[in-house]
Amino acid sequence: MLVELDDFEFGCGSLESEYYRDGARDLIRKLIPTDILYSMEDLVTRVRFNDLLPLIKISDLTEAPCNFSVSLLCKYRQNTSHFFYEMISRWLLPHKRLNVELFFSSDVRLPRLSDDLLSVAEIVVQIKSTQELEEIRRNFKQIETELRLGLISHYQATRILEFKGLSNDGKTAMIQDKISSLIQSRSKDFDRGIFSQMQHFLVTCRDEFKKERDYHHISRIISNLYSLRNQLKHNVEVVPNQRHIILKFFKTRLASSQKTNEGRLVLGILVGFNFLREHEVFEKEHLIGAISQSIANVHFIEGSFFVDRSQETQIQMNYLEIGKSDGQDFNHEEIHALRTQLPDQLKTHVEQLTHPVFMPRNEEEVLRNIMVLSRQLRFVTDIPQVIISFEEQRGSELGFTVILLRVLCPDGKTVVELFEKAESNLKIVPDRIRSLGSLGRKHIKEATVFRLFVDSQKFLRPDHSLDLYQARQYLLSEIFRVIGEVRDYNGGMIGKQNEVFLALKRSLGRSVHQHAMLLEKFFFALTPVELRSVMDVEHLKQLFLLLLQSQKKHQSFRKKNGDWLFRQEEKRLFIVLPHVSSAFKEKVNREIDRLSLPPYQLISFSIDIQEVSYAGYILQSDNLLEQKRFYDVIEHSLSNLNGSKSSSLDII
């Protein structure tokens, strides 16, 4: 049954409505497929019609000169006619506004097919040359895609028109042409999805960014953003539980501007990676921190940062430009250093957001600690005793509870007065002061409980995790400065470990800066814990260097089974095992327990480095047979795991 077009409704009620009625009737009959137009009114027909919207139809492209028409039927949306008119007349040929011969638009209702208000429109433009005709043939598919997107969403229509009008000097049109030619020449690598990437990039970037860079460089960024994202998405699908990093470097020269020196040479860095866990973040500061750890004496180009994160795939792309302080170009060695070192730095700079810790203070424990410290003060000459405990994170501040026991002179100042006089940058909040008897007739044992707050920004590690150990050490140094010498009652072993750790850092020299976080993880993973404060620094250095060798897969040491490394000395044996599973470590530990080694003879570690698990051991023994038995335990466990055999350790 033919839809009765004579019964449809118009928003216009004037005498001129007959003209609109006839024009709209002709357009609707041209646009709606006959199988829907000549169907019975039912739910299936209405659903099919709704799925087809918006309907767009063009006239045949004959020989130039000719008139070219585009007809449209869609759901009503504010400013639909304006968007349709601008897209065809202004952007069908990006470098030229076409002459419009006819434009018709009306709002209608088709009760038999839809309950929505509809808009019907037609535009006829004049095409003067064959060149224009061919260009329209190339451009229309992209224009049609943008039309459909903008007709569905007012937000998208605004963004599209904003993007279309970004450049008055034709640079945007040149970028479009470059991307279009890329699709034609490399159709296997690029499809029309790259236009969405181009639109997002150009709309997001500031005008200054586009003005200072030529269209060829911007096109390279867009094409690489698109291709690297697809490559990264494929890598994540193949190995989903691993952090994937992709880098691309671009050399370019910035155009002169009022804010910059003429013709600055810069290096663009495009970074793509995937997030592994919920609440991970990576922003401009994280990228700058990672680059700073990989190369020195560079500055970052203001306004060059770009970020594009996909919530669906958990993939993020970043772009940033750097320049040398002396304005020189980056050489091959510097780019190679970035290419090799930056991936590791990027992985360590991904920040994991965590919820603030809430744990009410245990007042019973505070009282117990006061009594413990009170027993330490037996003579007037005894130095003050202090216990420092982390309590809370309040915004950007870290709060610690401090219990201080001291022998107070008759004219002694309070702790708060001492901190005020010393002009400490710590924020002090007094809690309570208690007298716990006296020593002699004039000296009182005083217990002071107070809180100290310090800015957490000073103790952020590269991955933006908080180093509470360093924060505590800073508080202790300030207490030393303000009050004088004190005994750190609950930090004795911590202090000794810190001495060994600092000595280990000094023994490694300049290389420690490149592996600072890894060294920290290594040291605080050593077990038994008590051996960290008494181990010979040179032995720890050898084990750490062996770990670096294993990580980098160098061949400096003898290998077994192609992966694990060992080093034998007269009185000790070093072993590092990469790619170890939890089950394997449990098996090895059971076998080691059977050797009944004294606890002080064996020190070990187990850490994860870039999603790879490592285990290491130092056996301290001058008994060569004991060394061989330990070696055989490791070798036997690996042989059972891999189903292979290897030669045994040669006794020196």
Q: Would you say 614 and 598 are in contact if contact means Cβ atoms under 8 Å apart?
A: no
Torsion angle, CA of 463/469/470/473, rounded to 10 degrees? Answer: 170
Q: Encode burial over 338-350: b for 16+ CB neighbours within 10 A, e otherwise.
A: beebbbbbbbbbb
Tell whether the model's pLDDT for residue 92 goes beyond 70: yes
Which of 157-161, 287-291, 359-363 has the highest average model confidence (pLDDT)? 287-291
Question: pLDDT tens across 451-479, in order?
Answer: 999 998 888 877 777 888 889 989 999 99
Cβ count within 10 A of residue 302: 10
Distances (CA, A) of 212 to 12, 70, 170, 305, 613: 50, 37, 14, 14, 46
Task: Name the pLDDT band for 82 (thresholds 50, 70, 90).
Answer: confident
Give me 584's structure tokens: 């394997």
Query: Who's near 447: CB < 8 A, 6+ residues apart?
Result: 370, 373, 374, 403, 404, 405, 433, 434, 435, 436
The helix (H) or strand (E) run that includes residue 245 is strand 245-253
Tell whether the model's pLDDT for residue 165 goes beyond 70: no
Mean pLDDT confidence for 279-296: 87
- Cα(292)–Cα(297) distance, integer angstroms: 8
Mean pLDDT confidence for 502-514: 83
Q: Would you say 18 and 6 are in contact if contact means Cβ atoms under 8 Å apart?
A: no
Quickly tell me which residue has 């400490």 as its tokens.
424
Task: Name the pLDDT band for 279 (thresholds 50, 70, 90).
Answer: confident
Cβ count within 10 A of residue 129: 10
Tell whether the model's pLDDT for residue 420 goes beyond 80: yes
Compute the Cα dihedral for 640, 646, 651, 652 and give only its sign. Answer: negative
Q: Would you say 291 and 199 are in contact if contact means Cβ atoms under 8 Å apart?
A: no
Give me 170's structure tokens: 């034709």
pLDDT score, position 193: 81
Tell whether the model's pLDDT for residue 559 goes beyond 60: no
Mean pLDDT confidence for 407-422: 86
Eight-class DSSP state of 110:
-
The helix (H) or strand (E) run that includes residue 450 is strand 443-455
pLDDT score, position 256: 57
Of 83, 108, 86, the residue nearest 9 (C-alpha)? 108
pLDDT score, position 13: 47
Q: Which residue has the higher pLDDT, 511 or 590?
A: 590
- Cα(525)–Cα(606) distance, integer angstroms: 6
**Opening angle at CA 179, ends 176 and 180, nearest 5:** 80
Distances (CA, A) of 165 to 132, 147, 170, 172, 195: 21, 15, 10, 8, 16
Question: pLDDT tens across 14-23, in order?
Answer: 445 666 777 7
Q: Would you say 349 and 290 are in contact if contact means Cβ atoms under 8 Å apart?
A: yes
Q: Which residue has the higher pLDDT, 602 or 1?
A: 602
Task: Name the pLDDT band for 419 (thresholds 50, 70, 90).
Answer: very high
DSSP for 22-45, written as a single string: HHHHHHHHHHS-HHHHTS--SHHH
Tell whether the model's pLDDT for residue 575 goes beyond 80: yes
User: φ and ψ at 391, to 5 degrees?
Assistant: -115, -50
Mean pLDDT confidence for 552-561: 45
Tell whether the model's pLDDT for residue 404 goes beyond 90: yes
Q: Order of strands, edge to edge, in the sheet holding 564-568? A: 559-560, 564-568, 572-578, 612-620, 602-609
Q: Which residue has the higher pLDDT, 282 or 257?
A: 282
Mean pLDDT confidence for 190-208: 82
The helix (H) or strand (E) run that includes residue 507 is helix 492-508
Tell me the average pLDDT of the chain.
83
pLDDT score, position 168: 42
Eight-class DSSP state of 582:
H
Cβ count within 10 A of residue 549: 17
Q: Which residue has the higher pLDDT, 595 or 249?
A: 249
- Cα(349)–Cα(465) distance, integer angstroms: 9
Cβ count within 10 A of residue 151: 22
pLDDT score, position 164: 63
Give helix then strand counts, H and E, for the chain.
21, 22
Task: Name the pLDDT band for 566 (thresholds 50, 70, 90).
Answer: confident
Q: Which residue has the higher pLDDT, 564 or 357?
A: 564
pLDDT score, position 170: 57
pLDDT score, position 1: 31
Task: Name the pLDDT band for 3 (thresholds 50, 70, 90).
Answer: very low
- Which pTM value belongs to this model? 0.53
Q: Would you say 320 and 286 are in contact if contact means Cβ atoms under 8 Å apart?
A: no
Tell whether the model's pLDDT for residue 91 goes beyond 50: yes
Mean pLDDT confidence for 51-61: 88
Q: Would you say 1 and 41 are in contact if contact means Cβ atoms under 8 Å apart?
A: yes
Question: pLDDT tens across 620-641, in order?
Answer: 988 888 888 898 888 887 776 6
- Cα(40)–Cα(25) distance, integer angstroms: 19
Tell whether the model's pLDDT for residue 643 goes beyond 60: no
Helix residue ranges, H only, 250-400: 284-294, 332-348, 363-374
Mean pLDDT confidence for 142-154: 85
DSSP for 312-332, written as a single string: TTTEEEEEEEEEETT-PPP-H
Query: Who's near 647: CB < 8 A, 6+ residues apart?
Result: 560
Mean pLDDT confidence for 7-34: 70
* Amino acid present at 146: E
Tell whether the model's pLDDT for residue 402 goes beyond 90: yes
Question: pLDDT tens across 108-135, in order?
Answer: 888 888 888 999 999 999 888 888 888 8
Which of 42-46, 153-157, 227-231, 442-446 has the highest average model confidence (pLDDT)? 227-231
Question: pLDDT tens across 381-395, in order?
Answer: 899 999 999 888 887
